[in-house]
Amino acid sequence: MTDLTAWKKEGILAPVSQLIPVTRDKKTSLPPHYTQQLVTIVGLKTTTARFMPVSHEGDSNETYVDKVDNLRGVSRAEFIARKLKATERRAHMRLFREMTEKETGKEWQTTFQNWFKIPCEIPNGLCTVCWNDSLFGSLEAGKGATFSRARYFDTYSIESSNDCVAQTGSEEGMAVGNTVGEDLAKGRGDASLHYYEYVKAGTHFPFITIIESPTLLDIAGLLHAITLADLHGHGKYSANHGKFETEVWAVSTGVPRFSILNMLDWAADGVDSLRDRFISKGERPLFEAPSGGTPLTLWEAEIDTLRGELTNTFKEYISLL
Ligand SMILES: [Zn+2]
C-alpha cells in the first residue's frame, strides 16, 4: 500500500479541492486545512562544492564555519535548521513564480497582484496568504501572522570536522579571498585578504523535515524546492559555494521514531551503513502514525510519484483562486 491512491484515500493529505478560499482585505487565499496529520521527509545532503555554514559574526577578516564539539563522540560541522529552511523557502518561492508564469502566460508580478494584492516578496513584502506563506509561515506587521507548517531540524556532518573542514591546521588550511572593499590600485597587504574556513565537498548531512497538515502541493513543491536550493547554494557566499546533492530516502505519513542523532550513530561505520537502513529491504527505520495505525511510507524511487504530481496539483490550486 505505497501508491498515492492509498495516501489520498486515507485522508492524510488535505485535498487541494477541499481547501476553502477565503477573501479578506480583497485578498483571496486558501488557508491550510488542518488535518492534524503530517508527512516526514528523510534523506541525506552531500556537499558538491565548498560550503560555509555560518550563523555568527567572525573576526574582521576571518570566517569560521559553525561547529559543535563532541556530538556523539565526534566534533562536527553544524548546519542549522533556520538556514536550511530559509534557502529552501526562497527556492520554493522562485519555483512557484515560474510555474505561475508558465500556467498564466503573464509575468508573475501581475498575477500575484491579482490573486494576493501584492507580489509576495521576502522578507518585507510577504502577502501572508499564498502557498509559500502557508507552508513556511509569515508575518504582516499589525495584521497578524501565519504559522510555519514546515518543521526543520539542525543537522551535523557525519564526518568529523577535523576531516571535513578546511581550517587552520588542516591539510588545506583556511581559504584566502579578497575582502570586498579591497582597493585594487594599492599593493596587497593582510588587510586586503580574507581568510575563511569551509566544509569540503563530499561531506554528508542527514536531514529530517516535517510538514504539518500537508497538501499534495506542499509535499511535491518542497521536494522540487530541495533540488533547486541545492543548485542555488546554501550558506555564506552561496553564489559560488554551498552546492549540494540530495537523496530523499523516505516520505512517510508517520512521525520518525528516530532523530538526527540516531542517524549520525547509524553512520558511525560510514555513510553506506546509514544509507542501507533506508534503501535496503532489510530492517528499516520506524515511522509511527500520529493518530495510531500504520503510516504509509514511500521509499526512494517510489517518491518520484509524489514529485510528478506538482504540475497538476498546482493547476488545481490556482483554479480555486
Ligand atoms: Zn505570499
DSSP letter string over 200-260? PTT-EEEEEEEEES--HHHHHHHHHHHHHHHHH--BTTTTTS--EEEEEEEEESSEESS-H
The alpha carbon of 293 and the centre of ligand 1 are apart by a number of angstroms equal to 35
Residue whose entry in the numeric block shows the C-alpha cell 477573501? 23
Which of the residues in the chain have pLDDT under 50?
1-2
Per cent of the chain over pLDDT 70 is 85
Q: How far is the CA of 27 from the centre of ligand 1 (A)?
A: 11
Mean pLDDT of all residues in the chain? 88
Q: What is the pLDDT of residues 22-57, one digit of tens each?
A: 666 766 666 667 677 889 999 999 999 999 999 887
Q: Taking the CA atoms of the chain, what radius of gyration do you get in angstroms?
A: 21
Instruction: Report the SS3 class of residue 41.
Output: strand
Domain ranges of the chain: 4-182+190-319
Distance in Å, CA 116 to ligand 1 centroid: 7
Q: In the chain, helix, strand, coil percent, each to 5?
A: 35, 25, 40
CA of 128 to the centre of ligand 1 (A): 5
115-150 pLDDT per residue, tens? 888 888 887 888 888 899 989 998 766 666 778 999
pTM exceeding 0.85: yes
Amino acid at residue number 239: A
| 260, 217 contact by CB (below 8 A) | no
The CA-atom distances, in angstroms, between 77 and each of 64, 153, 187, 211 are 10, 14, 35, 25
* CA dihedral (17, 18, 23, 24) positive or negative: negative
265 CA distance to ligand 1 middle (Å)? 39
What pLDDT, on a 0 to 100 scale, did the predictor assign at position 1? 39
Kindly give the distance from the C-alpha atom of residue 65 to the centroid of ligand 1, in angstroms, as a whole number: 32
pLDDT in the model for residue 16: 67
Q: Ligand 1 center to residue 195 CA distance, Å?
A: 38
- Separation of CA 208 and ligand 1 centre (Å): 24
pLDDT of residue 128: 82
Cα separation, 158 vs 247, whole angstroms: 15
If you measure from the C-alpha of residue 29 to the centroid of ligand 1, how many angstroms do you get, rounded to a whole number?
Answer: 10
Burial code (b: 16+ CB inside 10 Å, e: under 16) for 116-141 equals bebbbeeeeebbbbbbbbbbbbbebe
